[in-house]
Structure 1
Amino acid sequence: MPLRRSGPARRTFPAATGTLLSLSALVLTLALPGTAAAAGGDKEPAHPEQDWMGSTIAAHEGVDRAGGSDAQASSSTSSVDGVDVSSHNGNVGWPALRTSGVRFAYVKATEGTTYKNPYFSQQYRGSYDAGIIHGAYHFALPDHSGGAAQAKYFAAHGGGWSKDGKTLPGALDMEYNPYGATCYGKSDAAMIQWIADFVTTYRAKTGRDAVIYTSTNWWTQCTGNSRKFGKTNPLWVPRYGSSVGTLPAGWPFHTIWQYTSTGPTVGDRNRFNGSFTRLKALANG
């Protein structure tokens, strides 16, 4: 009689092959930067501590060192000095900044739907305690999860607003993708919809229109220079030179200008476009 193969012998190799394939797929997924899946299904950023407001601007658009110095020297009574900080700044010496003339500050709160700034409490509460008007910002990752999901996460983890006269509306940081394609793999229409989902949800959660931080170059490239948000959302524009330059479409003026990334104590320096009374009005809503 011919010999028969036993059942277990026939099942061993396919099962082992399937296991190896599953493990390989898992390793590949975890190895790709910025693509690790979080418990809720959204992707986790690979290096959020390296992503702060303007961290990709200089790399893509350059820095006019001389222009930044000129801008700092040209401060006038019709503007207010401010800073923005994130985890890469660590614990911030707010009293010294207040003494130097800083009157407002934005603190990075979140990125995507998984990251929270570990220094947020010291930076956010510390600025408030030093008598500095403060606000929080969210570093957007449009290819990681939806705009509405990120707005909810932001509002729930530091991005809320209160009518205390010292809290600015939250800001949405839209800039070059630190993990890949400049426009996060989205068409102009898809990017506009993502931003709309974020700002609409944020307003529903807080009652305020989010400030939009973006450069004219990125906005033109990734939204087709959309005019959609100019009448509702204050503009925060980065340009490291002697003037604010051409603004994105739809905004007749800017609200905040990030004019250098090399200031004393805290590098990122900003100027509010108006008097201190108008800054307080923005805080009060």
Structure 2
Amino acid sequence: MQNRTEVMARGIDVSHHQGRIDWPKVQSSGISFAFMKATEGSTFKDPRFARNAAEAAAVGIAIGAYHFMRAKSPEEAAREADHFVRTLEEAGPERFTLPPVLDVETNDGGLKPAQLSLLCRIWLERVQAALGKTPLLYTYLHFARTALDDTLADFPLWFAYYNDSCPPDCRGWTRWSFWQHSDKGTVPGISGPVDLNVYEGTVADLTGYKLKEEDANKIIQLLQASWSMIQDYPEARDEIHRLADELRLASGQPVA
């Protein structure tokens, strides 16, 4: 699979385990997208899902929702899909600009790879039909190799791989759409560790908005013009560096 680069959009994924999140601080730190847990099994709803979705969307973070799978039969997979769709509809589906996600990392029923992969496909296709968006499948290397077969690679991958090296091809996937590269990240506005992710493209690719390179460079020049006035303020200098890099990313340029 491909490696990550500096121009790729940076994001996080969260659940109630992160507690109350200061989303304006998260957004100010350069996080441009967030996946949040919506449901698990056929009845559980994450107690912070609706609030996380509303507050993250309000500060301009692109958001998506994920479901943690527990199904052991086709009937359960269908019920879990319907439960997820209902939960999104209650939270306001127009907020969710990122693809819906099936998180599969347990095999509670001890199913064979072909059986578990079939349950995944039932959920994925049912959610796709209901929401009109192609879902992502989230999993990690060992689980994919031991618990799934090669039939799901027509759905895009969100890959958990905690390593700085390029992720290996796996089960028919030769590239990832999102890469969860750490589960020990530190982000302003969140107490404790949080999962860190990158998207395969830039912020502009992710959101559909691209700041013109010419406009970005004009703003950067104005920021740099104030440099002489803040020599004695390291925090201000650091902030100018950060803002300049965010402008470069938003206009599709490499960071300095």
Match of 2:179 among 254, 257, 264: 257
Say if 1:117 and 1:162 are closer, same or farther in 2 by CA, change over 3 A: closer
Distance in 1 of aligned mates of 2:65 and 2:135: 10
Match of 1:270 in 2: 197
Match of 1:156 in 2: 86
Match of 2:42 in 1: 113
Residue 241 (structure 1) shift: 1.1
Match of 2:220 in 1: none
Structure 2 unaligned blocks of 5 or more: 209-256
Residue 176 (structure 1) shift: 3.0
Normalised by the size of structure 1, how large is the TM-score?
A: 0.65
Match of 1:196 among 99, 102, 121: 121
C-alpha RMSD over aligned residues = 2.2
Residue 229 (structure 1) shift: 2.4
Match of 2:131 in 1: 206
Residue 242 (structure 1) shift: 0.6
Q: For the Cα contact (< 8 Å) 2:70–2:106, is it kept in 1? A: no
Distance in 2 of aligned mates of 1:244 and 1:156: 37
Alignment deviations for residues 111-150 of structure 1 (CA, whole Å, 9 cap, x no partner)? 0011001111221111101110001000111237621111
- 1:73-112 to 2 correspondence within 5 Å? 76-77=6-7, 79-112=8-41
Distance in 2 of aligned mates of 1:239 and 1:137: 18
Match of 1:140 in 2: 69
Q: For the Cα contact (< 8 Å) 1:244–1:259, is it kept in 2? A: no
- Matched to 2:142, the amino acid is N
Normalised by the size of structure 2, how large is the TM-score?
A: 0.72
How many residues are paired up? 199
Match of 2:98 among 158, 162, 168: 168
Match of 1:222 among 147, 159, 164: 147
Match of 2:158 among 216, 224, 236: 236
Say if 1:174 and 1:161 are closer, same or farther in 2 by CA, change over 3 A: farther
Distance in 2 of aligned mates of 1:129 and 1:263: 23
Distance in 2 of aligned mates of 1:81 and 1:126: 18
Residue 244 (structure 1) shift: 4.1
- Matched to 2:178, the amino acid is I
Distance in 1 of aligned mates of 2:165 and 2:100: 25
Name the SS for the 2:129 alignment partner: helix
Match of 2:170 among 236, 248, 256: 248
**Who wins on radius of gyration, i.e. which is larger?**
1
- Matched to 1:91, the amino acid is R
Alignment deviations for residues 204-251 of structure 1 (CA, whole Å, 9 cap, x no partner)? 110111110011210110123x1x2223x2210011111242132222
Say if 1:161 and 1:196 are closer, same or farther in 2 by CA, change over 3 A: farther
Match of 2:235 in 1: none
Say if 1:114 and 1:244 are closer, same or farther in 2 by CA, change over 3 A: farther
Give the 4+ runs in structure 1 shifted more than 4 A.
Answer: 159-164
Structure 1 unaligned blocks of 5 or more: 1-70
Name the SS for the 1:214 alignment partner: strand
**Is it true that 1:279 corresponds to 2:206 in the alignment?**
yes
- 1:17-96 to 2 correspondence within 5 Å? 76-77=6-7, 79-96=8-25
- Matched to 2:185, the amino acid is G
Q: For the Cα contact (< 8 Å) 2:138–2:158, is it kept in 1? A: yes
